[in-house]
């Protein structure tokens, strides 16, 4: 690149974005290293990193809403509890597909310099559901009938009881066969929802997600998981436009869904804008309570 050129390369995290600008994009992951060579009267090279190392993390010091260049890589701690498929008597999702889901989720969260730090329980045979909810497990799916009205169901309580006691700053994701509400791929019990419930039992579900494996691709499950993590990290309900990550996924058409993955950038610096990347990053360090 000579000194007068205005050309630049855009770093992107997924294949869709990499395909739109010819050779003007570079497909990367957080933590990658890139060697840049400037060729002019003299050749100058420099190695850059995609995201500052996690060792730079000092809470808000590297979370400047006006400069994403200062953003260190932050990790959202996620523990997957993979449940049993009642008919097949195996885990509802394979290790290979779950790894692909994590990869797809990371591609979206990279916009906020975030990635998942994963623990997994139940791969292979799957974790058995509580006996008291096995009937729903086989037929209509886990009962989430009261989700819009902050009401807690027995199915939810029984699954929350399976959470390890040391949940701490970990988001527990139960990968399950299905949910009782048609069209719902997942549901998240973020702090605001829990705190709005009149049932004290809801406290056990704070920062927990029910994610259906379903007959959909790992890419689509990854997008659903990124959306639900947005609820938890930002601590809000649905909102935004159809291109926003936080738009209600189940009401989008098939053609709209691939584009609903954008996290509003911190450079907008709008105090009233709850979709800022900096809020998600702060949530990764300390889950909203």
Mean pLDDT of 108-132: 92
Band of residue 271 on the pLDDT scale cut at 50, 70, 90: very low
Residue range 67-81, pLDDT digits in tens: 665 678 889 999 999
Residue range 234-255, pLDDT digits in tens: 998 887 778 888 888 878 888 8
What angle is formed at CA 171 by the lines to CA 246 and CA 247, rounded to 5 degrees?
Answer: 5
58 Cβ contact list (under 8 Å, min separation 6): none
What pairs with residue 144 in β-bridges? none
Could you give the CA distance from residue 198 to residue 196 in angstroms, rounded to a whole number? 7
Band of residue 272 on the pLDDT scale cut at 50, 70, 90: very low
Higher pLDDT among residues 91 and 258, named by residue: 91
What pairs with residue 38 in β-bridges? 44
Higher pLDDT among residues 282 and 175, named by residue: 175
State residue 48's pLDDT score: 80
Residue range 136-145, pLDDT digits in tens: 777 888 999 9
Dihedral sign computed on CA atoms, order 266, 269, 270, 274: positive
Other Cβ atoms closer than 10 A to 130: 15
The secondary structure of 199-222, three-state, reads: CHHHHHHCCEEEEECCCCCHHHHH
Structural domains of the chain in order of their starting residue, each with its CATH number = 10-49 (no CATH), 55-285 (3.40.390.10)
Query: Number of H helices and number of E strands within the chain?
Result: 7, 11
| Lowest pLDDT segment from 49-53, 157-161, 227-231 | 49-53
Mean pLDDT (the chain) is 84
Other Cβ atoms closer than 10 A to 207: 25
61 Cβ contact list (under 8 Å, min separation 6): none
CB 80 within 8 A of CB 74: no
| Lowest pLDDT segment from 77-86, 167-176, 268-277 | 268-277
State residue 4's pLDDT score: 39
Candidates 102, 103, 208; CA nearest to 147 is: 208
For 118-178, the DSSP string reads: EEEE-TTT-BPPPGGGHHHHHTT-B--TTGGGT---HHHHHHHTTS-TT-TT-EEEEEES-
Could you give the CA distance from residue 169 to residue 165 in angstroms, rounded to a whole number? 12
Residue range 156-212, pLDDT digits in tens: 999 999 998 767 799 999 999 999 988 889 999 999 999 999 999 999 999 999 999
What angle is formed at CA 242 by the lines to CA 65 and CA 240, rounded to 5 degrees?
Answer: 45
Which parts of the chain fold into alpha helices (H)?
A: 15-18, 95-109, 134-138, 154-160, 191-196, 218-234, 277-285
């Amino acid at each position: 690149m000579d000194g007068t050129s205005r050309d630049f390369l855009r770093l992107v995290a997924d294949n869709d974005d990499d395909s739109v600008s010819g050779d003007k994009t570079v497909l990367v992951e957080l933590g990658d290293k890139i060697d840049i060579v400037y060729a002019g009267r003299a050749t100058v090279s420099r190695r850059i990193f995609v995201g500052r190392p996690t060792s730079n993390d000092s809470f808000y010091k590297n979370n400047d809403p006006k400069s994403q260049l200062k953003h260190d890589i932050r990790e959202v701690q996620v523990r997957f509890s993979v449940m049993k498929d009642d008919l097949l008597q195996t885990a509802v999702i394979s290790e290979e597909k779950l790894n692909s889901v994590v990869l797809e989720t990371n591609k979206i969260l990279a916009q906020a310099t975030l990635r998942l730090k994963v623990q997994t329980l139940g791969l292979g045979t799957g974790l058995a559901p509580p006996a008291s909810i096995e009937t729903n497990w086989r037929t209509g799916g886990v009962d989430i009938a009261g989700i819009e009205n902050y009401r807690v169901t027995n199915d939810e309580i029984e699954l929350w009881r399976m959470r390890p006691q040391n949940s701490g700053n970990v988001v527990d994701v139960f990968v399950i066969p299905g949910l009782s509400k048609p069209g719902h791929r997942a549901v998240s019990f973020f702090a605001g929802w829990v705190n709005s419930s009149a049932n004290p039992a809801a406290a056990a579900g704070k920062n927990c997600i029910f994610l259906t494996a379903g007959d959909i691709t790992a890419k689509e499950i990854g997008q659903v998981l990124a959306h639900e993590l947005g609820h938890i990290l930002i601590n809000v309900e649905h909102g935004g436009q159809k291109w926003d990550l936080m738009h209600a996924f189940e009401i989008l058409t098939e053609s709209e869904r691939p584009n609903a993955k954008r996290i509003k950038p911190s450079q907008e610096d709008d105090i009233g804008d709850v979709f800022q990347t900096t809020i998600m990053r702060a949530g990764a360090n300390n889950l909203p309570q």
